């Protein structure tokens, strides 16, 4: 099943997924705010840890710009809970165990039949629920700063 190719200006596909505490988090709950929706392959691996910690370190700056960070992977809520606690992550990590949401965003890798991982893709979603920027090639060491820079530019152009 080929995922639809999302473009800037498209409505962000809505979803509701469990966070690390088992609470359902819906994208609709972020209407009226900027959302940084980032998909990542696996909890507690080097690249994913670097990316998550960069978002953690830049969290106050992102919040000051009116943006909320949401991480999504195929890992279960228990794995997310351990990962978030280990690195003091102040934003929700959502479990997309079926890979359905990642697939809707074109961010699902299928290896063979049994192995699924989310691709390292990020979507910057504006307060109206539209995709404002898509990142398909992510450098984990500077990704959150790239989003901060783009968010400033996007907010200036409004």
Structure-token pair, residue 90: 């102040």
The residues annotated as belonging to the active site are: 48
∠ Cα 38 42 43 (to 5°): 90
- Locate tokens 């890992």: which residue? 75
**Domain tally, the chain:** 1
Q: Domain of 82?
A: 32-156
Residue 2 within a domain: no
Q: What's the CA gap between 30 and 139, in Å, rounded? A: 26
Q: Is the pLDDT of residue 2 over 90?
A: no
Per residue in 33-80, pLDDT tens?
A: 999 999 999 999 999 999 999 999 999 999 999 999 999 999 999 999
| Domain-embedded: residue 131 | yes
DSSP helix/strand/coil, 67: strand
Classify residue 9: in a domain, yes or no. no
- Would you state the pLDDT for residue 3? 47
CATH of the domain at 37: 3.40.30.10
């Amino acid at each position: 099943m080929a995922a639809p190719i999302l473009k800037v200006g498209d409505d962000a596909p809505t979803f509701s997924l469990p966070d690390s505490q088992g609470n359902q988090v819906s994208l609709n709950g972020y209407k009226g705010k900027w959302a940084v929706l980032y998909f990542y392959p696996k909890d507690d691996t080097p690249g994913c840890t670097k990316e998550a910690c960069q978002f953690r370190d830049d969290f106050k700056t992102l919040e000051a710009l009116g943006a909320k960070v949401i991480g999504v992977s195929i890992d279960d809520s228990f794995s997310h809970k351990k990962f978030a606690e280990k690195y003091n992550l102040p934003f929700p990590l959502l479990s997309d165990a079926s890979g359905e949401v990642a697939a809707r965003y074109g961010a699902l890798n299928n290896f063979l039949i049994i192995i699924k991982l989310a691709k390292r893709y990020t979507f910057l979603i504006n307060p109206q629920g539209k995709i404002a920027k898509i990142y398909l090639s992510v450098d984990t060491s500077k990704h959150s700063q790239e989003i901060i820079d783009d968010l400033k530019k996007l907010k200036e152009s409004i």
